[in-house]
Amino acid sequence: MSYFDIALLVILAGFVFNGFAKGLIRLLGNIVGLIAGAFIASRFYLQFYEWSQSIFGARENLGKVISFIVVFVLVTLVIDWIFIIIEKIFNLISIIPFTKMINNLFGGALGFLEGSLAIGLILFVAVRYAWIGSLFGDHLVNSQLAPFFLKIVNLIMPVLPAALKALQSII
């Protein structure tokens, strides 16, 4: 196993331990918050920009970027707070044996899936731009784990945005 594969395992382990520490409920809240935040911000940031346009003056592009970030962060925080409340309610019933452990174990499993997907997406893009003769390209070719992560991305390719599909068709 190469150093590159070990680095991939360390990154994946970080996702798994994060999922285990947060538990399924909080990790699910983070994922739902990110998806909903991106979806809602992409739909409503221009309305927010129009409402706050006087703050930005002539800096229209900066205003739109900051508007997107503000809407994204607000939606993510609201959803995160909702899942914190759900977790608090869950903690009330966690006196039932093994419920907290099950929450943490499923959180670790979801962390594994999230980490595999994140690493796979990064490798998916990197494979398209790495020259085989370069140091990074050679590590990708010789990696024992990179094919696994790339297969994960291929499984979800039908639901990926058109930008990533276009990237695949370009190369």
Residue pLDDT, tens place only, 90-146: 888 878 888 889 999 999 999 999 899 888 888 887 777 666 566 677 788 888 999
State if pTM tops 0.85. Answer: no
Q: Is the pLDDT score of 164 beyond 70?
A: no
Cβ neighbors of 68 (< 8 A, separation 6 or more) are 41, 42, 45
Mark 142-161 as b/e (b = at least 16 C-beta within 10 Å): ebebbeebbebbeeeeeeee
Overall number of domains in the chain: 1
Cα–Cα distance between 164 and 92 in angstroms, integer?
Answer: 43
Residue 170 within any structural domain of the chain: no
Window from 29-43, 71-85, 151-165 with minimum mean pLDDT: 151-165
**What 3-state DSSP class applies to 141?**
helix
Residue 169 within any structural domain of the chain: no
Residue 171 within any structural domain of the chain: no
Q: 163: number of CA atoms within 13 Å, CB side?
A: 2
| Domain residue limits at 151 | 3-164
pLDDT value of residue 140 = 81
Residue 69 within any structural domain of the chain: yes
